[in-house]
């Protein structure tokens, strides 16, 4: 399961609202203890997708490397990636699956009319064929 601390959660929701009606993305940093992923910090990232961002996000690989370093400097790991679905449910889309990697949790925030609505977390498999929903607390 994944548990997101309040400050990190507030950062995620604020970033998703700021980017609306475009998709936002970012990294979740923290520690893993007894099978629980505890998110202690959220790091907004730029959506590097060059087309319409209403239903797509893309991480910037250089920024991803920088975030990995920032995490290590704080003795954290990058536990996952979050992104938003503007005016859409927090499901894991086919494109999300294609762009996923199996060692991360993927939190999707549904932003309806500019306000946070609900969120889900997913754990993609190694084949990128399906993603199981993961218990999420925030
Ligand atoms: Zn998505």
What's the whole-number mean pLDDT along residues 123-128? 95
Gyration radius of the chain over CA positions: 14
Single out the residue of 13, 42, 27, 44 nearest to residue 115, CA to CA: 13
Residue 32 Cα to ligand 1 midpoint, Å, equals: 24
Q: How far apart are CA 40 and CA 109, in angstroms?
A: 18
Structure tokens given for 79: 């536990």
Which pLDDT score, from 0 to 100, does residue 38 have?
A: 98
**pLDDT, tens digit, for every residue of 91-107?**
999 999 999 999 999 99
The answer, as to whether pTM is greater than 0.85, is yes
Domains of the chain: 2-137 (3.40.140.10)
Kindly give, in sequence order, each residue whose CB lies less than 8 Å from that of residue 62, ignoring residues fewer than 6 positions away.
none
Residue 56 Cα to ligand 1 midpoint, Å, equals: 7
* Residue linked to tokens 């990190």: 8
Structure tokens given for 116: 């946070």
Residue 83 Cα to ligand 1 midpoint, Å, equals: 7
Residue 40 Cα to ligand 1 midpoint, Å, equals: 23
């Amino acid at each position: 399961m994944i548990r997101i601390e309040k400050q990190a959660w507030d950062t995620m929701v604020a970033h998703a609202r700021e980017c609306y009606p475009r998709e936002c993305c970012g990294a979740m940093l923290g520690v893993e203890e007894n099978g629980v992923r505890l998110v202690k910090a959220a790091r907004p990232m730029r959506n590097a997708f060059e087309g319409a961002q209403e239903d797509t996000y893309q991480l910037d690989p250089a920024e991803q490397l920088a975030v990995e370093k920032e995490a290590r400097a704080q003795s954290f790991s990058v536990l996952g990636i979050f992104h938003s679905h503007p005016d859409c449910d927090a499901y894991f889309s086919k494109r999300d699956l294609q762009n996923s990697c199996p060692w991360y949790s993927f939190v999707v925030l549904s932003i309806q009319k500019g306000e946070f609505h609900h969120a889900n977390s997913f754990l993609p498999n190694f084949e990128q064929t399906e993603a199981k929903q993961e218990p999420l607390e925030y």
